[in-house]
Structure 1
Amino acid sequence: MSNKKSWRAVDDYIVASLFEPDPVLDSVLAANHDQGLPAIDVSPAQGKLLSLLVRMQGAKKILEVGTLGGYSTIWMARGLPSDGRIVTLELDPHHARVARSNFDRAGVSDRVELRVGPALQSLAALDAENAGPFDVIFIDADKPNNPNYLSWAMRLSRPGTVIVCDNVIRDGAVLDEDGRDANVEGARAAFSFIGGDKRLDGTAIQTVGAKGYDGFAIAIVD
């Protein structure tokens, strides 16, 4: 069995062994596909990890940069208490419409605030509104803006805030110092930001599975 086939098979085994059947989340992914959204959502195992991180943190306020169809948003919203709230930012109006329908489908609309527009503008607005601090911040949007998103995350955080930045390994291409791929450069910029900010204590984890070879960085604000 090839590596990729094995990774996917193990992911399927994880889900079959540890998760209850979830027709709602299955329908969310089906709706995303039917509406032409790119299949770049987190995997079920990664989504469950996000939900567990929210619960471990005892989070009541979450910020997500990059909604897509709302799959990861729903996972995190499910980890919130009844009075918790997640603010999620999406650039594309079509993606936002699909996401709102998915939030209704999953029964989490009362916990989700979706803001449509360029994320940097939305982040500035949240800061101006004193909307922070957030307990968990998940960054999964256009990779070249990683350092800008992380900078805003610091403004919207508190000591103890957990920040997760997705897609930072890029099939190992993060090692390429001389590459011209903007997504790889964005991944490297995330490492430079987290490693260079003394207020952050972080690490990164390489992952394999249904989404291929990638990984995420995770840090806590001191």
Structure 2
Amino acid sequence: MTEQLWTDVDAYFTSSLAPADEPLDAALRASDAAGLPHINVAPNQGKLLQLLAQIQGARRILEIGTLGGYSTIWLARALPADGRLISLEYDPAHADVARRNLAHAGLDTIAEVRTGAALDSLPVLEAEGAGPFDLVFIDADKVNNPHYLDWSVKLTAPGSVIVCDNVVRGGAVIDAASTEPSVRGTRALIERVAAHPKLSGTAIQTVGSKGYDGFVLARVTD
């Protein structure tokens, strides 16, 4: 199986089940124009996030890693009118693009983008009593994945769902001897999920327009 075939199958699924619309298209164009890296979730993956939030009946969502707000739009669309999404973005330029994209999508009253290092912002959320969040999507720097997971557990409640993206690392995740920081951070997250008394989780490998990757899905049990 070739990567082109993965991409073609993704295109078929996307055109059938997650067709693009103007706000999502505009978000991608604005991200491209601003020079943001092409690392946003694929459309069918965005639709999966939206469905997970809807199945969860989410009213509060936390996103760690905003980029241009493409995944943020998918997630925010799952919320009721009085719902709330907080997205944390390290890069101020990326955050500005995301805010404009959310405003264009009519979601700026539901979704808020906060700028700064997530590990600085997360304690602030705890102090504010912003949680508990019904769903957390982790898609930021992989080195800090285990710390993001720890904070996600702190800011959720039994029944909440935690999703962490990009955990396969092109297959490098199986290399226990790897010194690559993103691999080590991802392996640490997986080991934490496996050992955590309050989490039940699994990991799914994916292929598609984003290449060979996958995600962790965990539920807070206690």
| In structure 2, C-alpha distance between the alignment counterparts of 1:49 and 1:147, rounded to whole Å | 23
For normalisation by structure 1, the TM-score amounts to 0.97
Aligned positions of 1:128-143 closer than 5 A: 128-143=127-142
Aligned partner letter, 1:45: N
Does the Cα contact within 8 Å between 2:146 and 2:186 map onto a contact in 1? Answer: no
Per the alignment, residue 87 of structure 1 pairs with 86
Q: 1:189 offset after TM fit, Å?
A: 1.0
Q: 1:103 offset after TM fit, Å?
A: 0.5
Per the alignment, residue 36 of structure 2 pairs with 37
Aligned partner letter, 1:123: L
Percent identity between the aligned chains?
A: 55
Aligned positions of 1:51-90 closer than 5 A: 51-90=50-89
Aligned partner letter, 1:118: A
Q: 1:6 offset after TM fit, Å?
A: 0.5
Q: Report Cα offsets for 1:135-170 as digits up to 9, x if no partner.
A: 000000000101111111111010001000111111
Per the alignment, residue 95 of structure 2 pairs with 96
Q: 1:108 to 1:149 in 2, by over 3 A?
A: same
Q: 1:198 offset after TM fit, Å?
A: 1.4
Q: 1:186 offset after TM fit, Å?
A: 1.3
| In structure 1, C-alpha distance between the alignment counterparts of 2:25 and 2:169, rounded to whole Å | 26
| In structure 2, C-alpha distance between the alignment counterparts of 1:108 and 1:147, rounded to whole Å | 30
**1:158 is the counterpart of 2:157:** yes
| In structure 2, C-alpha distance between the alignment counterparts of 1:20 and 1:120, rounded to whole Å | 35
**Aligned with 2:216: secondary structure?**
strand
Aligned partner letter, 1:161: S
Does the Cα contact within 8 Å between 2:17 and 2:44 map onto a contact in 1? Answer: no
**Aligned with 2:158: secondary structure?**
coil
Q: 1:21 offset after TM fit, Å?
A: 4.1
> What is the RMSD of the two structures over their aligned residues, measured on CA atoms?
0.9
Does the Cα contact within 8 Å between 1:168 and 1:190 map onto a contact in 2? Answer: no
Q: 1:180 offset after TM fit, Å?
A: 1.4
Structure 2 gaps, min length 5: none
Q: 1:155 to 1:21 in 2, by over 3 A?
A: closer
Higher alpha-carbon deviation: 177-186 or 86-95: 177-186
Aligned partner letter, 1:217: V
| In structure 1, C-alpha distance between the alignment counterparts of 2:59 and 2:51, rounded to whole Å | 13
Per the alignment, residue 206 of structure 1 pairs with 205
| In structure 2, C-alpha distance between the alignment counterparts of 1:133 and 1:23, rounded to whole Å | 32
| In structure 2, C-alpha distance between the alignment counterparts of 1:132 and 1:184, rounded to whole Å | 29
Structure 1 gaps, min length 5: none
Moved over 3 A (4+): none
Does the Cα contact within 8 Å between 1:159 and 1:221 map onto a contact in 2? Answer: yes
**Aligned with 1:110: secondary structure?**
coil
**Aligned with 1:86: secondary structure?**
strand
Does the Cα contact within 8 Å between 1:91 and 1:119 map onto a contact in 2? Answer: yes
Higher alpha-carbon deviation: 106-115 or 47-56: 106-115
